[in-house]
Amino acid sequence: MFNYIKKRINKLHYKELFLYGAYISIISLALISAILDYFIGNYTDILLDFGSFVVAYFSYIFICKKGYIQLASTILFWIATFSEFSYLIVHKVDFNIIFTVLVPILAFFTMKKRQIIVNLLIYYVVLVYLLFYYYFTTSNNYILHNINYVHTYIVANIYILVFGIFYYLAIDSFIMRLNNVNKSQKMLLNEIHHRVKNNLNLIAAIIGLQEISAKSEETKEVLEQNRHRIESISTLHEVLYKNNLLESIDTKPYFISIIDKILDSSSVKNIDFISNIDNIRVSMNSMLQLGIMLNEMLINSLKHNKNNQIKIEFNFKKIDNIYYFIYCDNSKNVDLAKLKNGFGYNIITLSASIFDSEIKVENIGHLCYNIALKNLEESIEL
């Protein structure tokens, strides 16, 4: 649960994260205030608290959660503003005036530059009007008619304004520089993936030429298998740079790319392939090992399956934080002892060992690999 929340947070822009937190804070504060006012018997404040709660809650659900960030920012700012102005009006300026100093922080933290200027200008015009109105209509108000309170209030507002301006400029400038650095690194990393892919393809092509000129069928077979292994690694880098990814990749397109390449290049054509793949974002290192495992199993099926119609079923799914890699074909009478002594199976076990995996190989009417991966490194693209 904690990891899920952490991943969700990492996907959010910093303003989105603050906005969600501000909404949840105001909704919680309004609800708690309404409950406390009910027990106190302050029924006027209950209406204000409950009204703020309802508007904030529905704004959060139907505007903020649906991605209308700037509109949600403006609505939240004015929910807080009207709540505090309402308290000023009801209580004729009392302790709640402190909150009018804090409300502008919402604008600096959640809004864009033009929104900040427009909304704060309106906010301070209305605030100054209310304070002057109550200064002249209420006598001996312990806040408005006390020069020390007024002085402190003005200084606090100036401090908030100056702090907000410099905070906004500092964060905005930092985020802009960070985005530029990220773009530059992303371009360089994509270029690296592209060059690695091209170099691997060149090696695969050289091996392909050696395969053509080889005299022995056994030598041709070994070269073909090695060519497929290199191409599966090349496919990983191809998917990464084509999809503008950095260090992680979705399982489904990568698995499908490997399957298509091997089946298209195979001389065996009567193949019935069924796949059921959960699309999970996985780190590049983990995906590389998974691709090697699938590559070896496919090569083994095409090499040793003697049926006229080859049937292959591949499933990759996540259940309760365990990842199940299940590969079956319709091979019959497979000698499991011989299979487990083969080079391909050793590669599979070596790759699977990285994930602290349990491998079960069964040959009951068909050959089936059932691998439970425990330490698969999921990832997200920031």
Going by their DSSP bridges, the two strands 248-250 and 367-373 should be labelled as unpaired
In 138-216, alpha helices (H): 147-213
Note the pLDDT of residue 117.
Answer: 92
Q: What is the pTM of this model?
A: 0.56
CB atoms within 10 A of CB 101: 17
What pLDDT, on the 0 to 100 scale, is given for residue 245?
A: 60
Domain that holds residue 377: 269-382
**Which helix H or strand E contains 311, and what residues bound it?**
strand 310-319
Which of 30-34, 325-329, 377-381 has the weakest average pLDDT? 377-381
Distance CA 177, CA 305 (A): 57
Under the banding of pLDDT at 50, 70 and 90, the label for residue 45 is confident
Instruction: Name the domain boundary from 128, 145, 162.
Output: 145
How far out from the chain centre does Cα 112 lie?
24
Residue 283: inside a domain, yes or no? Answer: yes
**Per-residue confidence band for 380, with pLDDT thresholds at 50, 70 and 90:** very low
Last residue of a domain, one of 145, 165, 187: 145
Is the pLDDT at 88 greater than 50? The verdict is yes
Question: d(Cα 232, Cα 298) in Å, to the nearest integer?
Answer: 11
**Residue 381: its pLDDT value, please?**
42
* Last-in-domain residue among 145, 173, 196: 145
Confidence (pLDDT) at 379:
47
Q: Which residue has the higher pLDDT, 120 or 181?
A: 120
SS3 (DSSP) at 77: helix
Length of the chain: 382
Angle formed at CA 275 by CA 270 and CA 277, multiple of 5 degrees: 160
- Has residue 74 been placed in a domain? yes
Question: 319 has which bridge partners?
Answer: 322
Count how many domains the chain has. 2
- The pLDDT mean for the chain works out to 83
- Parallel/antiparallel/unpaired status of strands 271-277 and 310-319: parallel
HSE of 288, CA atoms in CB hemisphere, 13 A: 13
User: pLDDT tens-digit profile of 297-323?
Assistant: 888 887 777 777 888 899 999 888 888
The answer to whether position 1 is within a domain reads: no
Report the greatest alpha carbon distance in the chain: 108
Whether 354 is covered by a domain: the verdict is: yes
Distance of CA 78 to CAs 14, 16, 44, Å?
Answer: 21, 17, 20
What CATH code is carried by the domain that includes residue 311?
Answer: 3.30.565.10
| More confident position, 142 or 312 | 312
In this prediction, residues 266-285 reach a mean pLDDT of 82
At residue 56, does pLDDT exceed 80? yes
Per-residue pLDDT averaged across 111-139, rounded? Answer: 90
Per-residue pLDDT reduced to its tens digit, 151-166: 888 898 899 999 988 9
- Sheet with 310-319: list strands edge to edge: 271-277, 310-319, 322-329, 367-373, 358-363
**Does the structure show a pLDDT above 80 at 134?**
yes
pLDDT at 126 (0 to 100): 92
Q: Where are the alpha helices (DSSP H) in the chain?
A: 2-10, 14-40, 43-59, 69-91, 99-110, 113-137, 147-213, 217-242, 251-265, 284-304, 336-340, 343-353
Burial of 224 per CB tally in 10 Å (0-12, 13-18, 19+): buried
| DSSP 8-state code for residue 335 | -
Inform me whether the pLDDT recorded for 2 exceeds 70: no
Signed CA dihedral, 303, 305, 308, 311: sign only? negative
Pick from 279, 275, 296: nearest CA to 342: 296
Section 264-280 average pLDDT: 82
Domain membership flag for residue 379: yes
Tokens of 186: 């992303």
Residue 317 to residue 266: CA distance in whole angstroms: 27
Q: Vertex 281, ends 275 and 287: CA angle to 5°?
A: 70
pLDDT in tens, 204-247: 888 888 888 787 877 887 787 788 778 777 777 777 666 666 56
Which of the pair, 94 or 57, is modelled with greater confidence? 57
Q: Which helix (H) or strand (E) holds 62?
A: none
pLDDT of 75 higher than 90: yes
